[in-house]
Amino acid sequence: MKGAPHMAEKLTPREKGFSEWYVDLVQKAKLADYSDVKGCMVIRPNGYALWENMQRVLDKMFKDLGHKNAYFPLLIPESYLKKEAEHVEGFNPQLAVVTHAGGSKLEEPYVIRPTSETIINRSFAKWIQSYRDLPLLLNQWANVMRWEMRTRLFLRTTEFLWQEGHTCHETEEDAEKETRQMLEVYRTFAEDYMAMPVMTGQKSESERFAGALRTYSIEAMMQDKKALQAGTSHNLGQNFAKAFDTQFQGRDGKMHHVWQTSWGVSTRLIGGLIMTHSDDAGLIVPPKLAATHVVIIPIFGKASDAEKAQVLEKTNALAADLRKAGLGVVLDDDDTKSPGFKYNEHELIGTCLRIELGPKDLAKNSCVMVRRDVRQKEFVSLDEAVSKAQAMLDAMQKDLFTKAKSFRDSHTFEVNSYEELKEKADQGFLLAHWNLDPKVEARIKEETGLTTRCRPFDLKQEPGKCVVTGEPSPGRIVFSKAY
Amino acid sequence: MKGAPHMAEKLTPREKGFSEWYVDLVQKAKLADYSDVKGCMVIRPNGYALWENMQRVLDKMFKDLGHKNAYFPLLIPESYLKKEAEHVEGFNPQLAVVTHAGGSKLEEPYVIRPTSETIINRSFAKWIQSYRDLPLLLNQWANVMRWEMRTRLFLRTTEFLWQEGHTCHETEEDAEKETRQMLEVYRTFAEDYMAMPVMTGQKSESERFAGALRTYSIEAMMQDKKALQAGTSHNLGQNFAKAFDTQFQGRDGKMHHVWQTSWGVSTRLIGGLIMTHSDDAGLIVPPKLAATHVVIIPIFGKASDAEKAQVLEKTNALAADLRKAGLGVVLDDDDTKSPGFKYNEHELIGTCLRIELGPKDLAKNSCVMVRRDVRQKEFVSLDEAVSKAQAMLDAMQKDLFTKAKSFRDSHTFEVNSYEELKEKADQGFLLAHWNLDPKVEARIKEETGLTTRCRPFDLKQEPGKCVVTGEPSPGRIVFSKAY
């Protein structure tokens, strides 16, 4: 690669191989790169900027609901995990273990946090004395590590960045309310900012977080019709409180274990954003999460020096006006690259809106605007350029959601027999009756590759018969292939 | 502690024991807490809010200078560190090592990053091809781990949070310019935001970063007259570039190794902020970094219900007005606590400004304002409350800096003999001549506890004679006891 010319590179088309397209896009748009550390990625500035924008929005949503940020140690004594039996069983196979430090073998090994319920409860037990300390609403932005066999950039990596909310409440009801509230926060974020429609609902017993009473998730559909679990919210009941003796003196004067929740989303969201909207030319980013909204490209052709100067004066002024309106703007006036090259490059990295401006446009007091998603030219008066750019970005945000939702809805089916489930296994979300038996769930997965995603809240739950056994089912659950 | 009443607790006075005062303050103001993980702390919401404000300001300063954020793996293959001989020697004793993961022993152990020069150079070597890729200006916000024997909350912890800038340049001159520029950024941040005066200058050979050509630092003086190294900026030369073969094709068509810098500040700054300004009543925070600028405390005394309602109406309106002006405001109307209790509590946690308002004040259309640092009552007309609050916060920001600077300046001495150096060892910054010999530096440290802090840029460097050996010295260096 040394000394290779810089050029926008072609991606494998989605039709030819969705996985190859995805990996091509992530690498060529410089969102992330592989590392020599097993399953760990490097998040490059283009990818990290998306994460920063996601953080900014989510952090405000959490704080507006009264949550505060804190930071707990990266390392967890191995013995902590063993205090909650289900928890250690669930996470044990995925742990990275520190056995030596400071030149000596440690008496007790530490694990790198795969999630922080245990170590946080150790502090909660110290801090909480009375019902007056509740609710305690914390969040942590951190890196975590889960040793994975098969990894994929952003979607499943050994180390990932995330936020983990951890809350304590007086009553089971309060904890359930918080669990559901945070699930709705994730839905709002996914739909209103990522323009990614999601189903919310409860996970099956076998997909429940290790140590939780109940796990809820948001589930999105990618362009290859596979599901992506994009966020989870857990009602932990009193499981960790009992394991760590996190108690409070109640209004009745007696000691009680607190009721807890935890909830998280991660850099996996970036993978979901890419696979929901992007196309064969590259990345498409919903404007609300884009770092660069507009690229302005001066078109010189055979223009005279005087004409070039006039164009540059106008593009500079336009860039300033757009920035004043709060937009992220790049003025790409590098004359060693052709306009066509620049178009490709900005389509690859997902700049939302392109503005072209040459001497002929200037003579007509106009410019050309091209939205990244629809890629159609529009001639716009320079007097209206700022308001038109804003309107086009607003429309793009809406259209991306509508398109993704219509794609998902047209690939969601009610399925009433096991035959049909097998037939449609690759066609999207399949709503089917199932008798809640984990063995039947495992058999379906084994035979079809389909897993249960969630029992959707938006679906009216009516009893029926399990498509495999014919036994009673309380309502339909979503089956799908999944990341 | 279970069931103990919530009350503002007294701190050990500074005179009685500065260290005890510091630890008391950090814990009782709920800034941080100990954990069971050796040398690791829990950063509680009050402490983390300070870090978030520091991050917000620094991140903008970095970005305004063209730096972009990225994220590199937490784990580094052990072999990477060995590629740069000085680097591995410097960090080897402090490493935490992952030997097992996913249930198996690893073929090659990983270390938890103590700093990321090595793993970042692995990526730089892949990404950089030509001079057109330079300068490459990256920054990472991350946790790092250095196994320390003696730890202290915020000041020296096994795990800490920091930012590490890593840049690549075409020429040695460009790298030096960046190194010094970032040092100046740190100075600006320390002085203009933390209100903490710092000396900038070059570290001695023995205090240089392991693998750097030259290390510069900002050095602050704490209230116990000890120095705190609060940030460092390193000119790495081509040391890491050569170890990792990070090369670019130059304008001359030939391959060259890049010239690099790295620079960082950490959660240690929070310790510096505390020890610069705070007093026996608790934390004092410069308003520019405070999360809560104002607490409004309604004073009821023997007021009637009607009077209480009037006071509350006014305090609510005032809180809204202050928030509209961009200030962080808490309205503490909890009537289970006395005003005196609230005063103590907000002095402990460092709320910048207290506003008291009772029926008598209201009758005079006035309120009482008390600045956290000077703690003097001022009667302020309610019509001018917002502008007066802002003015008092501005004055407080300035006064904190002036006070800290005058303290430092009055504890900075030119010292011209070894006897005098020993005599004044506990009195602050001692400017003395030294012959640059690391053995002499080690002897001074051994015999007096004094270490070289930096050769200050602000000091005119005139040759003299080493206070220990009488040998030639190029100029004075700062000696001080240090954290």
CA distance linking residue A444 with residue A450, whole number of Å: 6
Residue B334 belongs to a domain: yes
Interface test with A, best of B55, B69, B75, B334 (most A CBs within 10 A): B75
ipTM of the modeled complex: 0.96
- What tokens does A215 get? 């796990």
The last residue of one of the domains, among A348, A372, A400, is A400
Cα–Cα dist A40/B362, whole Å: 62
Structure tokens, A273: 């954003």
CATH number, domain containing residue B314? 3.40.50.800
The overall average pLDDT reported for chain A is: 96
Same domain, B261 and B299: no
Plot region of B289 (φ>0 → left; ψ -120 to 50 → alpha; else → beta):
alpha
A330 in B contact zone (CB under 8 Å): no
Looking at the structure, tell me whether residues A201 and A342 fall in a common domain.
no
Classify residue A10: in a domain, yes or no: no
Closest CA to A7 of A348, A290, A299, A293: A348
**Strand locations in A361-446 (E):** 366-371, 377-381, 412-414, 429-433
Residue carrying the six token digits 């941080």:
B32
| Cβ proximity of B478 and B456 under 8 Å | yes
User: Domain check: are A120 and A232 in the same one?
Assistant: yes
Long-range (24+ apart) CB contacts under 8 A made by A312-318 are A314/A357, A314/A362, A314/A382, A315/A357, A318/A355, A318/A357, A318/A367, A318/A382, A318/A385
CB proximity B251 to A under 8 Å: no
Q: What is the CATH number of the domain that holds B129?
A: 3.30.930.10
Check: pTM over 0.90? Answer yes or no.
Answer: yes
Pair B217, B243 in one domain: yes
Residue B143 and residue A96: Cβ atoms within 8 Å?
Answer: no
Domain final position from A254, A277, A300: A277
Q: Name the residue facing A129 among B3, B71, B103 (closest C-beta).
A: B3
Distance from CA of A313 to the nearest CA of B (A): 23
Q: Phi/psi zone of residue B395: left (φ > 0), alpha (ψ -120 to 50 degrees), beta?
A: alpha
Chain A contact for B1, CB < 8 A?
Answer: yes
Interchain contact B415–A (C-beta under 8 A): no
- B46: in domain: yes
Q: What is the pLDDT of residue B2?
A: 37
> Distances from the Cα of A185 to the Cαs of A49, A137, A171, A178, B109, in angstroms?
21, 15, 21, 10, 40
Is A190 part of any domain? yes
Cβ contacts (< 8 Å) between A330 and chain B: which residues? none
Q: What is the pLDDT of residue B461?
A: 87
**A421 reaches B (C-beta below 8 A):** no
Q: Is the pLDDT of residue A6 over 80?
A: no
Q: Cβ(B174)–Cβ(B180) under 8 Å?
A: no
| Residue B33 contacts A, CB cutoff 8 Å | yes
Q: Count H helices, E strands: chain B?
A: 14, 26
Between CA B69 and CA B71 the distance in angstroms is 7
Q: Chain A within 8 Å of B472 (Cβ-Cβ)?
A: no
Q: Which of B6, B7, B28, B37 is the mutation pick for testing A, counting most A CBs within 10 A? A: B37
Contact yes or no for A2 and B255 at CB 8 A: yes
State the DSSP H helix or E strand holding residue B323, giving kind and residue range, or none if neither: helix B305-324
Residue B19's nearest CA partner among B481, B372, B394 is: B481
pLDDT tens, residue by residue, A127-186: 999 999 999 999 999 999 999 889 999 999 999 999 999 999 999 999 999 999 999 999
Closest of B106, B1, B276 to residue A112, by C-alpha: B106
Report d(CA B437, CA A396) in Å as an integer: 66
Judged by a CB distance cut-off of 8 A, whether residue B250 touches chain A is no
CA distances from A412 to A197, A203, A421, A433, B401 (A): 13, 18, 12, 14, 64
Together in a domain, A208 and A315: no
Contacts of A132 in chain B (CB under 8 A): 6
CA distance A103 to chain B (A): 6
Q: What is the mean pLDDT of residues A11-38?
A: 97
User: Would you call A3 an interface residue with chain B, using a CB distance cutoff of 8 Å?
Assistant: yes
Q: How far apart are alpha carbons B260 and B431 in whole angstroms?
A: 31
| B175 alpha carbon, distance to own chain's centre | 24
Structural contact between residues B251 and B268, judged by C-beta atoms closer than 8 angstroms: no
Give chain B's residues under pLDDT 70. 1-8
Range list of β-strands (E), A372-458? 377-381, 412-414, 429-433, 451-452, 455-456
Is B2 part of any domain? no
- If pLDDT is split at 50, 70 and 90, which confidence band does A8 have? low
Rounded CA gap, B328 and B393, in Å? 12
Longest dimension (CA), chain B: 86
Give the 3-state secondary structure of residue A319: helix
Which of B2, B46, B94, B154 to probe the A interface (max A CBs under 10 A)?
B2
Mean pLDDT of A322-343: 95
For residue A67, give the chain B residue with the closest CA.
B45
Q: Based on C-alpha coordinates, what's the Rg of chain B?
A: 26
Q: Give A310's contacts (C-beta < 8 A, 6+ positions apart).
A: A359, A362
Summarize pLDDT for A433-471 with one digit per residue, the tens.
Answer: 999 999 999 999 999 999 999 999 999 889 999 999 999
Residue B268 has what pLDDT? 98
Q: Answer yes or no: are the C-beta atoms of A317 and A383 closer than 8 Å.
A: no
Give the CA count within 13 Å in the CB-facing half-sphere of B202: 14
> Chain B window 431-460: which residues touch A at a Cβ cutoff of 8 Å?
none
Measured CA to CA, the distance from residue A348 to residue A284 in angstroms comes to 8
Residues of A with Cβ-Cβ distance to B255 under 8 angstroms: 2
Are residues A342 and A245 both part of a single domain?
no
DSSP B187: H
Instruction: Write out the E strands in B22-83.
Output: 32-34, 41-43, 68-69, 75-77
DSSP string, A22-83: HHHHHHHTTSEEE-SSTT-EEE-HHHHHHHHHHHHHHHHHHHHTT-EE-B--SEEEHHHHHT
Interchain CB contact of A77 with B (< 8 Å): yes
Statement to judge: residues B110 and B181 lie in one domain: yes
* Closest approach of B293 to chain A, Cα-based (Å): 17
Please compute the mean of the pLDDT values over residues A83-108 and round it to a whole number: 94
Put simply, the answer to whether B68 touches A48 (Cβ < 8 Å) is: yes
Q: How far is it, in rounded angstroms, from Cα B288 to Cα A472? A: 63
Q: Does A75 touch chain B (CB under 8 A)?
A: yes
Of A378, A270, A366, A374, nearest in space to A318 by CA:
A366
Q: Does B447 fall in a domain? A: yes
3-state class (DSSP) for residue B28: helix
Same domain, A90 and A153: yes
Tens-digit pLDDT profile for residues A236-270: 999 999 999 999 999 999 999 999 999 999 999 99
Q: Is residue A368 domain-shared with residue A438, that is, in the same domain?
A: no
Q: CA A243 → CA A117, A119, A211, A213, distances in Å?
A: 11, 11, 10, 14
Q: List Cα–Cα distances, B231 to B165, B268, B269, B274, in angstroms.
A: 12, 9, 8, 16
Q: Are B276 and B191 in contact (CB under 8 A)?
A: no
Residue A123 and residue B49: Cβ atoms within 8 Å? no
Report which DSSP code applies to B89: H
Q: Within 13 Å, how many C-alpha atoms sit on residue B302's CB side? A: 0
In terms of domains, do B377 and B441 share one? no
d(Cα A24, Cα A18) in Å, to the nearest integer? 10
Helices then strands, counting H and E runs in chain A, come out as 14, 26
Q: Provide the residue range defining the domain that includes A291.
A: 287-400
Residue B34 φ/ψ, nearest 5 degrees: -75, 160
With respect to residue B101, please indicate whether it lies within any of the assigned structural domains: yes
* Strand stretches in B146-244, DSSP E: 159-169, 198-202, 214-221, 227-237
Q: Does B45 touch chain A (CB under 8 A)?
A: yes
- What length is written for chain B? 483
Tell me, what DSSP letter sits at residue A279?
B
Pair B29, B149 in one domain: yes
Of A277, A309, A330, the position where a domain reaches its end is A277
Best A52, A74, A251 member to test B by mutation, with max B CBs in 10 Å, is A74
Tens of pLDDT along A183-238? 999 999 999 999 999 999 999 999 999 999 999 999 999 999 999 999 999 999 99
Q: What is the pLDDT of residue A461?
A: 87
**Geometric angle at alpha carbon B85, from B237 and B77, rounded to 5°:** 100
Are B6 and A132 inside 8 Å of each other by CB?
yes
Question: Which H, E and C letters describe B337-371, residue by residue?
Answer: CCHHHHHHHHHHHCCCEEEEECHHHHHCCEEEEEE
- Amino acid A402 reads T
Considering only CB atoms, B161 lies closest to which of A4, A71, A123, namely A71
Average pLDDT over residues A398-404: 98
Q: Which residues of B touch A101 (CB under 8 A)?
A: 38, 95-97, 147
B103 in contact with chain A, both atoms CB, cutoff 8 A: yes
Q: Is residue B103 in some structural domain?
A: yes
**pLDDT given at position B138:** 98
**Cβ partners under 8 Å of residue A314, min gap 6:** A357, A362, A382
Here the CATH number for the domain that contains residue A458 is 3.30.110.30
- Looking at residue A4, its pLDDT comes to 39
Structure confidence at residue A3 (pLDDT): 36
Residue A70 and residue B45: Cβ atoms within 8 Å? Answer: yes
Question: Same domain, yes or no, for A78 and A149?
Answer: yes
Domain tally, chain A: 3
Residues 6+ apart with CB under 8 A from B98: A96, A97, A98, A99, A112, B75, B106, B109, B110, B111, B112
